[in-house]
């Protein structure tokens, strides 16, 4: 069991038996029946794969690089569908002052005033709203994938910083491989969306490609969103999305949130949300034995699938 101040009990939910905090059950039905709109823009990711980075990119492209509007917190501009179901409401509300502690995040996502609505989720495909799963509604969905070893260490640090965990990377990696961490199996998550990318409106992008050539990914996402950007705009946006710029940007760096955790002695590790931003950082953090186990698990999961030749 992961030590977690806010959700000390996990349940296994849905056909993939995804482990989620027991509080999720209060929102499961509402999410299943969520009213999807065809012009919504969704981002779906396994945690720590570059969600925030991509959300900022999507929002900026869809809003014609509205840097002034972008000074509002990303959490408000791009609500996180199920976050209210990840915490014990009373404890979070007592500790931190934020909208998702006070209101249902599902309501906040649903009742956005402007169009298109922007919605972030970490849910696996099997737990998405029915209208998305059965294709009754086909909004644009962008899925970000990242090397699971880097995502895993990033997840561990995030948990120690912002989720009340107290766990070292090698122990956490074992939970991750055993698919017992919050949101369960990394591979079921990836494949759930991968298998539907042709039938539904899903664009796959990779964290590693964003690191290698951000302007190309910006152009790809703009094309998917049916937005035209000049070369100059692509360059300006790439600068705005650079690691250094995002780290300083209080609308996206989560510092306000972390400060409240610090004040309430809920932070078990120094650091920041926009942390290292590197490819292959796991090599410096995981033990050789954990890396060996990780690689065997990756091989077992992708061999024989059409993901086998994807480089992440």
Residues in the chain: 312
Is residue 257 at the binding interface for ligand A3P, with CB under 6 A as the rule? no
Is residue 246 at the binding interface for ligand A3P, with CB under 6 A as the rule? yes
Contact of 37 with 118, CB cutoff 8 Å:
no
Place of tokens 């969306």: 193
Q: With CB under 6 A as the contact rule, which of the stretches 71-79, 134-142, 193-201, 271-279 interacts with ligand A3P?
A: 271-279
- The mark string for 23-52 relative to ligand A3P (x by CB under 6 A, - otherwise) is ----------------------x-xxxxxx
In whole angstroms, the minimum distance from the beta carbon of 11 to ligand A3P comes to 23
Q: With CB under 6 A as the contact rule, which of the stretches 63-71, 101-109, 190-198, 235-243 interacts with ligand A3P?
A: 235-243
In whole angstroms, the minimum distance from the beta carbon of 47 to ligand A3P comes to 6
Which one of the listed residues 122, 157, 158, 189 is annotated catalytic?
A: 122
Helix, strand, coil share of the chain (percent; to 5): 50, 10, 40
Q: With CB under 6 A as the contact rule, which of the stretches 18-26, 97-105, 177-185, 241-249 interacts with ligand A3P?
A: 241-249
Contact of 184 with 122, CB cutoff 8 Å:
no
The kind and range of the H/E element at 15 are none
Beta-carbon count within 10 A of 22 CB: 14
What contacts 124, CB < 8 A, 6 or more positions away?
14, 16, 18, 183, 184, 185, 188, 189, 192
Q: How far apart are CA 92 and CA 84, in angstroms?
A: 10
Contact of 165 with 64, CB cutoff 8 Å:
no
Binders of ligand A3P among residues 140 to 199 (CB under 6 A) are 150, 154, 157
Give the residue, chosen from 62, 241, 258, 312, that forms a contact with ligand A3P under the rule CB under 6 A: 241
Give the residue, chosen from 243, 257, 264, 305, that forms a contact with ligand A3P under the rule CB under 6 A: 243
In whole angstroms, the minimum distance from the beta carbon of 95 to ligand A3P comes to 20
Interface with ligand A3P (CB under 6 A), residue total 20
Helices (H) then strands (E): counts for the chain: 17, 6
Binders of ligand A3P among residues 51 to 110 (CB under 6 A) are 51-53
Place of tokens 């059965």: 134
122 noted as active-site residue: yes
What phi and psi, each to the nearest 5 degrees, are found at residue 168? Answer: -90, 160
Cβ-based nearer residue to ligand A3P, 131 or 143: 143
Q: What is the CA radius of gyration of the chain?
A: 18
In whole angstroms, the minimum distance from the beta carbon of 258 to ligand A3P comes to 13
In whole angstroms, the minimum distance from the beta carbon of 227 to ligand A3P comes to 20
Contact of 241 with 214, CB cutoff 8 Å:
yes
In whole angstroms, the minimum distance from the beta carbon of 136 to ligand A3P comes to 28
Q: What amino acid positions are annotated as catalytic residues?
A: 122
Residues that bind ligand A3P (CB under 6 A): 45, 47-53, 150, 154, 157, 241-243, 246, 274-277, 281
């Amino acid at each position: 069991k992961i030590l977690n101040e806010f959700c000390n009990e996990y349940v296994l939910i849905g056909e993939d038996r995804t482990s989620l905090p027991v509080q999720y059950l209060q929102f499961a039905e509402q999410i299943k029946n969520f009213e999807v709109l065809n012009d919504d823009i969704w981002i779906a990711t396994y945690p720590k794969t570059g969600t925030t980075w991509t959300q900022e990119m999507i929002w900026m492209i869809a809003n014609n690089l509205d840097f002034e509007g972008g000074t509002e917190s990303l959490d408000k501009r791009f609500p996180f569908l199920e976050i209210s179901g990840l915490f014990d409401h009373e404890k979070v509300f007592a500790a931190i002052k934020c909208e998702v502690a006070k209101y249902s995040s599902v309501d906040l996502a649903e009742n956005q005033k402007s169009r298109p609505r922007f919605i972030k989720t970490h849910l696996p495909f099997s737990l998405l709203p029915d209208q998305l799963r059965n294709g009754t509604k086909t909004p644009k969905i962008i899925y970000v994938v990242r090397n699971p070893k880097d995502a895993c260490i990033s997840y561990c640090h995030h948990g120690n910083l912002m989720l009340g965990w107290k766990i070292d990377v090698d122990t956490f990696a074992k939970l991750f491989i055993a698919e017992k961490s919050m949101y369960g199996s990394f591979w079921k998550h990836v494949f759930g969306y991968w298998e539907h990318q042709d039938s539904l409106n899903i664009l796959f992008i990779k964290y590693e490609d964003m690191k290698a050539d951000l302007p190309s990914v910006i152009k790809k996402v703009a094309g998917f969103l049916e937005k035209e950007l000049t070369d100059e705009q692509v360059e300006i946006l790439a600068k705005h999305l650079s690691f250094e710029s995002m780290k300083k940007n209080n609308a996206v760096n989560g510092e306000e949130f972390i400060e409240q955790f610090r004040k309430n002695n809920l932070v078990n590790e120094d650091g920041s949300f926009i942390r290292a931003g590197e490819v292959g950082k796991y090599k410096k953090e995981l033990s050789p034995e954990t890396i060996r186990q990780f690689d065997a698990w990756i091989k077992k999961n992708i061999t024989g699938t059409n993901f086998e030749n994807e480089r992440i």
